[in-house]
């Protein structure tokens, strides 16, 4: 769904929410962003998004996380969210086998420790950068990691909102 801001503001609520779910799979977030329309500009949309993300219960964040593939695993499907995810993880394309294996093992340790997928805004990062961040974050306690996850989710959502508005 390619929409500029004016088009997004004019969509029926259900269509706006549907499009927003490709940016963030939290239904509460999507409903809140859609309900906040009309937005004067993209920054107002992003500011509202940020505020809503900050207000999400952890269960809502976990709902969003469930839509993200593990780092190093390609998103399946033909939808916009899967396509965006594959592009965001393009830094994995040239990863050596040893790095891929280390990421897979790190993902398993992370999920055992924290109970959800390792989330990082992978845009512009190489596989080694992602692996280093994963290893560093394994040292976080649960509260600190939840804050990092919220920050990373916010970065991803901002990028995806921009893509949605640009029709990318």
Active site residues: 68
Tokens of 80: 């916009």
Tokens of 14: 């259900």
Number of alpha carbons in the 13 Å side-chain half-sphere of residue 128: 2
Q: How far apart are CA 88 and CA 50, in angstroms?
A: 20
Element (H, E) at 94: none
**Taking Cα atoms as reference points, which of 18, 16, 56 lies closest to residue 37?**
16
Q: How far is CA 79 from the centre of its chain?
A: 15
Residue with token string 């029926």: 12
DSSP 82: H
Distance in Å from the first CA to the final CA of the chain: 9
């Amino acid at each position: 769904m390619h929409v500029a801001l004016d088009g997004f503001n004019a969509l029926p609520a259900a269509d706006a929410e549907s499009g927003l779910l490709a940016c963030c799979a939290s239904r509460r977030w999507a409903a809140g962003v859609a309900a906040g329309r009309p937005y004067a500009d993209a920054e107002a949309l992003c500011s509202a998004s940020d505020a809503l993300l900050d207000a999400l219960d952890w269960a809502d964040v976990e709902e969003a996380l469930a839509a993200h593939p593990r780092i190093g695993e390609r998103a399946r499907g033909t939808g916009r969210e899967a396509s965006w995810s594959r592009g965001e993880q393009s830094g994995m394309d040239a990863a050596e086998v040893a790095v891929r294996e280390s990421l897979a093992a790190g993902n398993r340790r992370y999920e055992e420790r924290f109970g959800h997928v390792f989330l990082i805004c992978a845009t512009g990062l190489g596989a080694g950068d992602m692996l280093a961040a994963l290893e560093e974050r394994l040292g976080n306690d649960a509260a600190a990691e939840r804050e990092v996850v919220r920050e990373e989710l916010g970065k991803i959502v901002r990028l995806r909102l921009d893509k949605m508005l640009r029709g990318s």
